[in-house]
Structure 1
Amino acid sequence: MSSSIVLQKAAENGLTVTGLTFRSQDVRPGFVFFALKGANADGNLFIDDALARGAGMVVSMFAPAKPCPALYYQSADIDRDMADAAYEFYGRPSDAMHMTGITGTKGKTSIAYLLESILTAAGHKVGALGTVNYRMAGQVLSKAPNTTPAALVLFELLARMKNGGCDSVVMEVSSHALELQRVRHIWYDTAVFTNLQRDHLDFHHTFENYFKAKQKLFENLADPHNFKPNRVAVINADDPYGKRLLELLQGRVKTVTFGLESEADFKAQDIQETLEGTSFSINGTPMHIRLLGRHNVYNALAACAAAWVHGADEAAIVRGLAALPGVPGRMERIDEGQPFSVFVDFAYTDESLRRAFDTVEPFKKGRVLVVFGCGGQRDRTKRPLMGNTACSRADRVFLTNDNPRCEDPQQIFNDILAGMKDFSNYQIIPDRAQAIESALKEAQPGDIVIIAGKGHEDYQLVGTQKRHFSDQETVRTWLQKEKKKYV
């Protein structure tokens, strides 16, 4: 019997379901339309549009406002019912693949790319879902509107991966996805915990709630319904919340640890950093990644541990780590022959901004200039912390817009400036392109320019508009225009 009450109701009423969606514009005859009420839009306002397009069934948390010509189901938990329906409709695709879920505040994307590269080197056909995009066997399927997509999108993608011959899936699992049941019915073989830092308190409200959301991924491994035979939790033994997870899982789930300071199963030694990448060894075996920073050693260790759990041998691990050219928007170096270094990074918290400064510290010959802003309609408490970190660590700060969304940019600046009261090494340039160009114009030979906050994103959210904007494109355009000065 189907685990989906929605599909059961459809079958009982003679409806042949042809598709599932929460976007009324995507409805076709026979579709089930889930009228989701979100923070910015209410699907219940589009029920008439869905019906006009042929919806065979409407699912909503609310009773119908008027008689409905199609089948109507009032759901007590629409997130759960949507996940149940997607899992069944798309043929339970995750059951047939090795599933690795990666969660934590920082490092998810880099670990996913590293692990994908290792598993590919080991001969697996890999699907990958994360913050940058969704991929199958190295080919991009689509850009990623969410780190972990909604259940309807997620199971459709997993079905494509399964039908395309993938035997393994590597996916970033956000705290939002865990809280909103997007990954319900995905039984994981491996779960990876990176770290826990201040973030997303606008959604979770307390740090404890944030941790408990992350913990759900590991409870998935311990769940008696999880039929995967060799379930393993891969955990950062240096992180305080990693230590807490290890205690909670003791005797319930097999664990493998990684770290640099604590006793761990995967521990790096002999770390050497250059602008070309980072070298280290694990149990005497030399490894190299083309990524910068001590934090990426942690990410590489996590990927090595998860790959080993999956059966990858040492040779594949070494090859896979070395093969990855970089991760989009993660300390991504832009080099057009200029006599100073430019990095584009996704840092959008004070901790990740501090990490970006730590990464370039060994290569510092001149000044450090940083361009950054804070996203609108997001956690306001981190704004003054980011302002203070920027001014205390950089020689010059260019404060600009990130994704202001529907919040007043001046209010965002005011919040950031509260942490910059004791400094004068900054200027405010609201236009992001102008701020980037100003930093590049000011850069001298030997300087380092960090452009933080947006990373891989190729858009800017201003009001309700999504405009094309890329930090990388802006940098390259300016550097190429000025190239004759450097040659």
Structure 2
Amino acid sequence: MKLKDFFNTDSEVEVGEITQNSKLVVPGDIFFAIKGAKVDGNDFIDDAVSKGAVAVVSTEPAKKKYPVPYFQVDDIDLAMAKAAVKFYKNPSDDMFFIGITGTKGKTSISYLLESIFNEAGIPCSVIGTINYRINGEVFAKAPNTTPAALYLYYMIDKMRSAGTKVVIMEVSSHALELKRVFGLNFDVALFTNLQRDHMDFHKNFENYFAAKEKLFDSLIENSKPAKTAIVNIDDQYGLRLADKIKAKTTLIPVSLVEAENVKESLNGVTFSYKGESASINLLGKHNLYNAVFAVKAAMAYGVDLQTALKGIAKLQGIPGRMQRVNKGQPFYVFVDFAYTTESLMKAYETLEPYKNGNIITVFGCGGDRDRTKRPLMGLAACQNSSHVLLTNDNPRTEDQQQIFNDILNGMKGYTNYEIVQDRALAIKTGISLCKENDILLIAGKGHEDYQILAGKTIHFSDRETAETELEKLGYVQKQ
């Protein structure tokens, strides 16, 4: 492609690649200078040009005269997305796209859907919080739920080349607000729920909801011939969304009343759906929502009900989602990604039917993130636990004591807690406190295999740490 295909110019210069990383620039590339939270791409324009960039795009005025075209734009995220659509010839037109948005449930639904399409023999790829997978093979770890547009389109192009028929994508509110998914033509869009999260970014619930709505605006406006919105109408924001879009696209509501004869156990949930027996190997009634979402989305593609139900039954578990750590110990250990007040409460609700002893909770709150949820999570932990071990959880660059102080504001009047700043020691302490039939809930990090301390990333896994401590105590049963 030529430079004139991307910008208002007569230049016939051939374009090799499009990138926002000056280290990757080779002759013929367009360089997008992104001003990030820590690094400003504008500081690397000279480097990119010296390496052969044929054009530079930035929101900043040019600091000097460059030997290549310099395009100043108002919105660099939109400019990148538009360039990616053209460069990769919009791969979403050639595959069936399912977008999942909402505060909670996105990852679980993506895994359930992947299991259904595997059962149906349909090649599918997943873009989500844990990793990015192409036809079942891990392509890369996921630094973001939804990556930036240039990398996103690059990856989707790889999926198309690999023969993927269905792309399952978790779509974050950040991605929608920052236009990372601009130009992608979705066939199906799912709305799970809206709970307190990301208030540091969105400031209030209305802004947060407005960001989520953008997925459905793009669904309605895109060029796909048949489009479907699947919305949780048990959620107040889902109900608002359904009312807004019902006249503009095919709307399929989701409600928990659709699942009948529900029976829960520590092995999962059995239920009836549309007269058929069904089961999932996931804990909690909230996973019934996720299962119904997955079944309906798969059926929108054309998968029959029986195959869909077989698919959800075959999924054995999801990393870091109420994941049981079982080494044969006489008590229960669960690792869960509960990092909001609502998800922490949902974890307690899930465990309540099996509580024959104490519930001990290990948790903390992330640094440089929404501070408003911290006291609420502290209160929830104290109210629902016999003992709470308050610890670190990716403090990033924020002072750990400040994070603790925010959480402690919600724990006033309670004495059933202690602060153990080192997370590994907190998990070890939690295990040592457990007696027969007690439950240890290690909340907040879930699948993550890292800690961000003072801005540095180190390897750390709640699951691995718990397994190691249990093995030290002589519990060696294979899970």
Specify which of 51, 54, 61 is matched with residue 52 of structure 2. 54
Query: 2:270·2:280 contact (CA, 8 Å) conserved in 1?
Result: yes
Q: What letter corresponds to residue 61 of structure 2 in structure 1? A: A
What corresponds to 2:336 in structure 1? 345
Specify which of 256, 260, 264 is matched with residue 260 of structure 1. 256
Distance change in 2, residues 1:5/1:433 (3 Å): farther
Q: What letter corresponds to residue 106 of structure 2 in structure 1? A: K
Query: 1:187·1:220 contact (CA, 8 Å) conserved in 2?
Result: yes
Query: 2:327·2:477 contact (CA, 8 Å) conserved in 1?
Result: no
Specify which of 45, 63, 66 is matched with residue 64 of structure 2. 66
Q: Secondary structure at the match of 2:37?
A: coil
Distance in 2 (alpha carbons) for counterparts of 1:483 and 1:68: 67
CA distances 1:418-468 after superposition (whole Å, capped 9, x unpaired): 000110010001111111111011111101111111111111111221111
Instruction: Quote the offset at 1:484 in angstroms.
Output: 5.2
Instruction: Quote the offset at 1:485 in angstroms.
Output: 9.5
Distance in 2 (alpha carbons) for counterparts of 1:485 and 1:477: 10
What corresponds to 2:353 in structure 1? 362
Q: Secondary structure at the match of 2:356?
A: coil
Q: What letter corresponds to residue 403 of structure 1 in structure 2? A: N
Identify which range, 383-392 or 213-222, moves more after superposition: 213-222
Q: What letter corresponds to residue 50 of structure 2 in structure 1? A: A
Specify which of 1, 23, 26 is matched with residue 25 of structure 1. 23
Identical-pair percentage: 52
Q: Aligned residues, how many?
A: 478
CA distances 1:67-124 after superposition (whole Å, capped 9, x unpaired): 2122211112111110011111122111100000000010000001101111221221
Structure 1 residues without counterparts, runs of 5 or longer: 262-266
What corresponds to 2:273 in structure 1? 282
Distance in 2 (alpha carbons) for counterparts of 1:486 and 1:213: 46
Distance in 1 (alpha carbons) for counterparts of 2:200 and 2:39: 18
Distance in 1 (alpha carbons) for counterparts of 2:349 and 2:217: 34
Q: What letter corresponds to residue 321 of structure 2 in structure 1? A: R
What corresponds to 1:264 in structure 2? none
Q: What letter corresponds to residue 24 of structure 1 in structure 2? A: S
Distance in 2 (alpha carbons) for counterparts of 1:485 and 1:167: 42
Distance change in 2, residues 1:66/1:8 (3 Å): closer
Is 2:223 the counterpart of 1:227? Answer: yes
What corresponds to 1:170 in structure 2? 168
Distance in 2 (alpha carbons) for counterparts of 1:485 and 1:81: 54
Query: 1:5·1:81 contact (CA, 8 Å) conserved in 2?
Result: no
The two structures, once aligned, show a CA RMSD in angstroms of 1.6
* TM-score (normalised: structure 2): 0.97
Q: Secondary structure at the match of 2:116?
A: helix
CA distances 1:16-55 after superposition (whole Å, capped 9, x unpaired): 1111111111222211111111222211112122223322
What corresponds to 1:192 in structure 2? 190
Instruction: Quote the offset at 1:486 in angstroms.
Output: 9.3
Distance change in 2, residues 1:485/1:312 (3 Å): closer
Distance in 2 (alpha carbons) for counterparts of 1:153 and 1:237: 34
Q: What letter corresponds to residue 406 of structure 1 in structure 2? A: T
What corresponds to 1:131 in structure 2? 129
* TM-score (normalised: structure 1): 0.96
Specify which of 325, 331, 348 is matched with residue 334 of structure 1. 325
Q: Secondary structure at the match of 1:113?
A: helix
Q: What letter corresponds to residue 284 of structure 1 in structure 2? A: G
Q: Secondary structure at the match of 1:128?
A: strand
Q: Secondary structure at the match of 1:166?
A: coil
What corresponds to 1:269 in structure 2? 260
Specify which of 419, 423, 435 is matched with residue 428 of structure 1. 419
Residue correspondence of structure 1 range 312-323 to structure 2 within 5 A: 312-323=303-314
Distance in 2 (alpha carbons) for counterparts of 1:426 and 1:327: 29
Query: 1:336·1:476 contact (CA, 8 Å) conserved in 2?
Result: yes
Specify which of 365, 371, 384 is matched with residue 380 of structure 1. 371
Specify which of 439, 447, 465 is matched with residue 456 of structure 1. 447
Residue correspondence of structure 1 range 112-151 to structure 2 within 5 A: 112-151=110-149
Distance in 2 (alpha carbons) for counterparts of 1:339 and 1:23: 51
Q: Secondary structure at the match of 2:428?
A: helix
CA distances 1:242-292 after superposition (whole Å, capped 9, x unpaired): 11011101211110111114xxxxx10111111111111112211111100
Distance in 2 (alpha carbons) for counterparts of 1:133 and 1:114: 15
Instruction: Quote the offset at 1:9 in angstroms.
Output: 4.8
What corresponds to 1:98 in structure 2? 96
